[in-house]
Structures are given as structure tokens and as C-alpha cells.
Amino acid sequence: MCKRAQNNENCEDTLLKLARTYSKDSRNLKSLQKLKFGKETVEHCLVSSFVEKASVISKWNNLKLNDELLTLDRFFKLDQAASTVTEPNIPVDNLEGVVDVHQHKKPHFFDDVQFLVKTNLIYSIIGLQNSTGSGSVDHVIKQDETGLLIKKEGEWIPVKKLREALTWNSEEGELESREKSTERWNYFKDGLVPIDRYYHHINADKENFPQQNVKLQPVLKLSDDEMSALLTRARQYNGLTLDNSQDPQKQNCVIQLITNPHSLKYEGMKGNLNAQWGVHVGIRMIFPDGTVYSTGFGLPHAEDSTKGGGNMHFLQTFNGQPMTMDHVELRPHCGRITTNIPVKEDRANAILDQLNKYRASSLRFNLLKQNCAQLGCHVLEAVTGIKLNIQVPLSTWIHRALPDIKNVPVIGKFLEWSQRKITAIKASIAGVIPQVVKAIFTFIGNIVFFVPKKMGVLLRNLLVWSLGGSMGTNPTKTKESKSENTNIKPEDDLGSLSHMNSFQVLLKSWTDENASKIQHSSLFIKWQLEQNSTDVHEYKGQPNMHILPPDSDSANLYSETRKEEFKKLFAA
């Protein structure tokens, strides 16, 4: 806050009264940001300071942390007056009644809170706290006379020291070392560790390149009891598998396939559109000792930032890779669908090895042709042998996204009745027409509609081209991948696993009939909902990976109820 603002109590009190009219929802803060003041005015300083602090505290409060500690009336005092806690090692979310911000001085408390929120570390910490039974202890936020402490490489370190050593790269959304910008930090099972979620090939040949980033790294550890409960749930899977065995104990690993469908609030006219909106597919591998790997298909910032034409060219092709810690793991959701499949350890290792090869060589990513859903199908095939076809023609996707006839206002019921009658008449006629006559009409139809079909292909490809389908970055060239290869071959012990393709761009020919087809997640979700070992987890206001099966009657009720709701949504 500027000095002029600090000395103007009347202006501060006025703004505080204004602040009380706003809820904790950070969206309402945009109203304050729109207020027009000169940059050198007292009002501008106060509003800027308020918005910055309010944004941090709003996010903190949304996580249900320290609701009594961080209140609107104390925004302007938090960076000058905070508390000294007499009892050490108290979890941050249990400080109610212990801290009095008006009594003692602890100048780094708000700065620590701001650092954790700004760098998104708070979401990782709370998420890991909630994901296992021991998480609240293993990842507790502690306090001492220096301020907050968080776990770093197995030990609790003052956040003050982290603020001095690390900096937030807001452009890339990464926490990096001040002295070595190529050293990225993330919060996993051992706390804050120098592990990058991505393998940056461009830096791989540089001196002192962190070799731990070449391969996927574990993010969490389950206890023996938690692993046992997870295996029990996974062994309820009743679908196809390549590891069928007389002894289920040999299937001592679990593969989890995860999706997060969008909100169910869009019903009626918008219901079908909601179901056809793309959903990310994540992958987890859990080994016998409880070690958890989380991954998914993602794009390093260096690739995404090269996008020409901005967001309008979203059909460009990039170099993607399996990332360490899937990017949706700790995000809010409206019901996380998790399918548990038991596998033998040698197969789980083979899948992990193959994903590491994809990470080292990179995979071409395209929103239509090769996306996260396709990688999920790739792993599904490696586990079960199921070649799940999720390719949908553009015309079919549009048709499925349109409202059901019955939901059309006023005339919906009449249109639905008419459709049933026409369908019945067509079925009755088709039943009496000889096959020879049908074949003749089919042949004639193919001739008559040949040119219109080709024109349709051309028009669809023109749309693909206009959205960047002929654009793309250069494929990554590494020791593990050669540009002349058309496919990245799987491990021999994964059998006849279908290839993930290596290609330059989506659209190479105007007559390509597959360029506009979509690898769509809705069909993947539909398969998930048909499996006995699928659970749906509820988001309760705080990040949670939801690795473990539901452990209460209410959680099981939510899972079954939500599954039925999703089945109706993804029935098409």
C-alpha cells in the first residue's frame, strides 16, 4: 500500500465498508477492479491493495481454511499484524481460537499465505492431505516463530526461505529456482521436490539437466490397508482383461482410468450438448507397495505458446507427452468417474515403461485425431485387450449435440410422436422389401450421392483447415524417436497394442475423409459406466485425488446415484 493510502484512515474505512458488501467469491472482486481512479491517487492504491489481498483470501476461504483468521476487516492489517502461536506444529486448518491477529506481530504470515496461493501449492498440499488416511499428518502445514512451514524433500521448511529461493513463473504457471530457471519444483509425496511435470526436450542436452524429469515420477504413497482396499475394489472388475488368472492374488497392481464430466445443471435443451463436450481422460498406476503414478496427455508451455492464430486455430498439432501428475487431479469437478482394473505387476511395469518412452520421444497431440481420450484407450487396450473405438464423425457429433425433439418448446411432443410413427412405417416397409431390391437401391444411391458426399468431405475439411488443421509444430527429434518413423512401436510384451501415431499435421489432403472425425471422450465415459468396478466420487469443496473407493454409506449412495445420472446423459 502506498504511504498516502496508509495515512488516509477515512478513505480506508470507506473502502472497508464497501468491501463488506462483497462475498468471498473472487468473481465479485472484478467489480472493484473496474473502478476508475488515477494511478497516483489514494483510492487507486487502496483498491489495488484490497483486490490483491482479497483475491488471495477469497481462494483461501474457498478451501475452508482459517475462515476466522482471514476476514475482510483485516485485509489491510494482515501484512503488518499476525500472530505468534505458542503451540508449535498446529495444522493451519485447526487454528481457530488459537490465533489473535491483533495481539502479536508476525510479519511474514500473510506473505506466506499469498505465496502458497499464488503458486497453487496450497491446492497440492490440501489435495494430498485429503487423498490418504495419513495425508493430514504427512502434509500438514506447520507454524513457528518464522511463519508457516511446509514439507520439502521430507522435511518441514519455513515458507519464508522458499520465497527467497524460488520464484513463480506466471507465464508458464511453474515454480522455479531463482538461481536456475530450468529447475522446476512441484509438491508430491515427499513434499516440495525438484521435479518438473514435463520433460523439456529442448533443455535435455544442457549441462546439469535434471535427469529425474526424463521419466514419470510417483506422486503419492498408499498404506498397506489402503492398497488392500483398493485391490478388493479393483478385483470386482468383470470385463475383459489380458491378465485373467486362477489366482487373483497375482493381480497385485491397479490401473485407474479417470474422467470428470461437466456439470449436470445443463438439462433439457442443453443436455445433449453437455454430454458431447470433450472431457479429459487421466491415468493412474498403483503398484503393490502403494506407490501411485498419475499421468495424462499434456502439452508443455513451449509447445502451446507457439500456437499461431491464437485460440481460433485450436486444431493445430503439437508435441505432447504423458505428464507427471495429471493436470485435472486436484481441480473441482461434478463427479469424478474412476474405473479400477487389477493387473499383474509385470504388465503394470510394461505400461509404465511404454508411457516413459512416449515421454522421452514425445507424442503428437491433436484435439481431434490424437488426444487424452485416445491415450486412455491405448492404456485400456494394454490392460484388457479391448480396442475401444471412440472415433465419431463430425456430423454424428453435431447430431448427438442437438436437443432431443421432445425438448423443443410447444411442438416437442408432436414431433416426437411423428418421429415414432415414421420410424415404425419405415421398419414395416423394410421388412417386406426383398434383399435384391434393397441392394439395387443402395447401388443407385451410392452413384447419385457420390458427388454430394465428396463435396461434404471438402466442406468439412475446409472448416478443419480454417481452424488450424494444416498447421503444427515440428515433431520432436530425439535419440528415442526418428522423424522417418510413422508409428511409435509398443513394447513386445504388450502384445498387439495399437500404435499411437506420429504425424505432422491433421489435414494433409482435401479428400481425407478422416480429418474431421473426433476421438471423443463420451464413448469412453459410456464404457466406464458399464463396469462393475467404476466409482463416482463427490467433490466436497477441497482438492482430493479420490484414489480410494467410497468408504461410507453416503459415499456409496452418491456414487450409485451419480452413475445412473451419468448413464442417462451418455446413453447416446
Per residue in 533-555, pLDDT tens? Answer: 999 999 999 999 999 999 999 99
What is the Cα–Cα distance from 313 to 323, expressed in whole angstroms?
Answer: 24
The residue that leads in pLDDT, 407 or 348, is 348
Output helix, strand, coil percentages for the chain, rounded to the nearest 5. 40, 15, 45
- In this predicted model, what pLDDT tens digit does every residue of 38-85 receive, in sequence order? 566 666 666 677 777 777 777 877 887 765 445 433 433 433 433 333
Q: Which range, 37-51, 99-113, 118-132, is most confident?
A: 118-132
Q: What is the SS3 string spanning 256-325?
A: EEEECCCCCCCCHHHHHHHHCCCCCEEEEEECCCCEEEEEEEECCHHHHCCCCCHHHHCCCEEEEEECCC
Confidence of residue 167 (pLDDT cuts 50, 70, 90): very high
Mean pLDDT of 451-462: 88
What is the Cα–Cα distance from 432 to 415, expressed in whole angstroms?
Answer: 27
The answer to whether residues 93 and 64 touch, using CB atoms and an 8 Å cutoff, is yes
Q: Which residues of 208-240 are buried (b: 16+ CB within 10 A; e: fewer)?
A: eebeebebbbbbbbbeeebbeebbebbbebeee
What is the Cα–Cα distance from 158 to 161, expressed in whole angstroms?
Answer: 6
Mean pLDDT of 220-243: 92
Indicate if the alpha-carbon torsion angle 50, 56, 57, 58 is positive or negative.
positive
Where are the alpha helices (H) located in 9-70, listed in sequence order? 9-20, 29-33, 42-62
pLDDT for the residue numbered 240: 77
Instruction: Tell me what percent of the residues of the chain surpass a pLDDT of 70.
Output: 74
Confidence of residue 288 (pLDDT cuts 50, 70, 90): very high
Tell me the three state secondary structure of residue 149.
strand
pLDDT for the residue numbered 32: 56
Name the burial class of residue 11, with classes exposed (0-12), middle (13-18) and buried (19+) by CB atoms within 10 angstroms of its CB.
middle
Contacts of 444 (CB under 8 A, 6+ apart): none
Dump strand ranges (E) for 374-507.
Answer: 391-392, 487-488, 500-501
Indicate if the alpha-carbon torsion angle 129, 130, 131, 136 is positive or negative.
positive
Instruction: Tell me what percent of the residues of the chain surpass a pLDDT of 90.
Output: 45
Confidence of residue 127 (pLDDT cuts 50, 70, 90): very high
pLDDT for the residue numbered 180: 85
Q: Count H helices and E strands in the chain, helices first.
A: 19, 19
Per-residue pLDDT for 342 more than 90? yes
pLDDT for the residue numbered 454: 85
- In this predicted model, what pLDDT tens digit does every residue of 197-221 receive, in sequence order? 998 877 777 777 778 888 999 999 9
The answer to whether residues 103 and 127 touch, using CB atoms and an 8 Å cutoff, is no
The answer to whether residues 314 and 299 touch, using CB atoms and an 8 Å cutoff, is no
291-298 and 336-343 beta bridge pairing: unpaired
pLDDT for the residue numbered 277: 83
- Give the cell for residue 187: 509438491
Instruction: Give the distance from CA 214 to its chain's centroid.
Output: 21
Closest to 70 measured CA to CA, from 93, 41, 49, 46: 93
pLDDT for the residue numbered 518: 92
Q: What is the pTM of this model?
A: 0.81
- Mean per-residue pLDDT over the chain, rounded: 79
Confidence of residue 410 (pLDDT cuts 50, 70, 90): low
| Residue indicated by cell numbers 522421452 | 360
Q: Which range, 57-66, 302-311, 350-359, is most confident?
A: 350-359
The residue that leads in pLDDT, 8 or 108, is 108
